């Protein structure tokens, strides 16, 4: 997983050839069309961070579709195997005070 990886594209590639729910497909189209920058989500992160703020935000939005009941269950989920990281990535993102 690199900082230039597009989360919606990776999810679409994962489901290629498999059955994908039409509602989830529409949601992925919506997610791809969102024009949000890292600056909108709290600014740039350090160079050594595994994922950008935008990637973390997209993962958080996808969690319910991937049957992940909460952040504490992220580490053992299938989406974690695709994108890496542990649950502390998501908690640290949500704990930012400068994001509404």
Is residue 2 one of the residues assigned to a domain?
no
Is residue 99 one of the residues assigned to a domain?
no
Give the C-alpha separation, 29 to 14, whole Å: 15
- What's the structural domain count of the chain? 1
Is residue 100 one of the residues assigned to a domain?
no
Question: Do 74 and 87 form a contact (C-beta atoms < 8 A)?
Answer: yes
Higher local confidence (pLDDT), 78 or 45:
78
Is residue 52 one of the residues assigned to a domain?
yes
Is residue 68 one of the residues assigned to a domain?
yes
Both tokens of 89, joined, read 């990535």
Is residue 57 one of the residues assigned to a domain?
yes
Measuring CA to CA, which residue among 44, 52, 47 is closest to residue 85?
A: 52
Give the C-alpha separation, 33 to 70, whole Å: 25
Q: How does pLDDT run across 16-37, given as a tens digit for each residue?
A: 666 777 777 788 888 888 888 7
Domain span at 11: 7-94
Q: How does pLDDT run across 34-48, given as a tens digit for each residue?
A: 888 777 777 666 665
């Amino acid at each position: 997983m690199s900082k230039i990886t597009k989360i919606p594209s990776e999810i679409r590639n994962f489901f290629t050839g498999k059955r994908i729910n039409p509602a989830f497909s529409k949601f992925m189209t919506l997610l791809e069309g969102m024009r949000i920058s890292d600056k909108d989500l709290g600014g740039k992160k350090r160079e050594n961070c595994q994922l950008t703020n935008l990637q973390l935000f997209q993962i958080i939005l996808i969690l319910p579709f991937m049957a992940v009941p909460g952040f504490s269950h992220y580490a053992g989920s299938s989406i974690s195997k695709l994108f890496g990281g542990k649950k502390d990535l998501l908690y640290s993102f949500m704990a930012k005070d400068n994001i509404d």
